[in-house]
Amino acid sequence: MELPEKLLFAIFLILSVAIDGTKADTMLTGTVICDQCKDGQRSLYDYPVNGAKVTLSCSDSNGQVTMSREETTNWFGSYTMRFDGAPDLGGCSAHVSGSNNRQGGPMSCGEGAGPAQNPRLMFRMFDMEMYAVDPLLAQPSQPMQYCSTSSNPSPPPPISSPPPHFNLPPMIFPEASACPSQKWTMPEYECYWRGVNRDTKVGVAFGMVAARRYGTDMTLWYGLKGRGDPYRTLLREGITALLNSYNSIQFSYHPLGVITHMNYALMGSTRDVLVTAYHFMRANSGAGNVSCKFTSCN
């Protein structure tokens, strides 16, 4: 009898912890996005910010700071903080506190910042914890010119009927949408593939680290069918997360965030692979409160 995928994953996780030992370890991850329209929302105009300083501050009941940690985002706009032991980060807050980008210009995204965010506990087992922070916003001094100045912008003019035998691709979901890997293999949802296609090589989508692990010829379509191995499970859920991130502005990960978390996992231990796969799997399933917004392409 074939074991359910989640049960297999739990077995892999237990084995990896047994192999790596039970040393307590806590990880916090997040992404900084340039909010070019200064509207507090993620939009198609936004991009990850490299060199942004993120500060995590924790206070006691009297408001006294008990712990503070600073990290700088990488080229993918992501940051990771590691802590010894298992501190409770639930009452802490993370905010953009500055920038290491000394060149200025539009890519520096100014020095403004959106609201602070509280870490959310995503996973806890065997004294190992994983926290995630919702995307933090960096903001330019002024909104970009192409942003709407109205709080209730007029809808765009209707699109004329497409020519015969031509199907317009579906719009990117402005609301949160999360679809599991099985949905992405169904032919009736093929039109939602954007940014990459079925024949895109894994190494092209995720970089040289992934190419060394999975080979230069493996396609995303083949990788979506991976089963029964921690690294194949990571690849399947990573591909699914990448596809979801291209289709929903409010998905848990930005496309570059998916890529950087994938690479971090592949360069780490088996436990890193399993934890990242679980993190992706949870996001792809909607974490119990986000549904898949697909409708048939036909």
* DSSP annotation of 201: B
CB 52 within 8 A of CB 75: no
CA distances from 112 to 33, 46, 82 (A): 12, 15, 26
263-268: average pLDDT: 90
Give residue 131's pLDDT band: very low, low, confident or very high (50, 70, 90).
confident
CA 34/CA 109 separation, integer angstroms: 6
pLDDT at site 170: 61
pLDDT at site 58: 92
Give residue 111's pLDDT band: very low, low, confident or very high (50, 70, 90).
low
Q: Is 50 exposed, middle or buried (0-12, 13-18, 19+ CB in 10 A)?
A: buried
CA 235/CA 213 separation, integer angstroms: 10
pLDDT at site 118: 92
Which are the contacts of 116, defined by CB distance < 8 A and separation ≥ 6?
93, 94, 95, 136
**Per-residue pLDDT for 108 more than 50?**
yes
Least trusted range by pLDDT, from 82-91, 100-109, 132-141, 233-242: 100-109
pLDDT at site 150: 46
89-99: average pLDDT: 87
CA 60/CA 53 separation, integer angstroms: 23
Q: Which domains are assigned to the chain?
A: 26-139 (2.60.40.1120), 181-285 (no CATH)
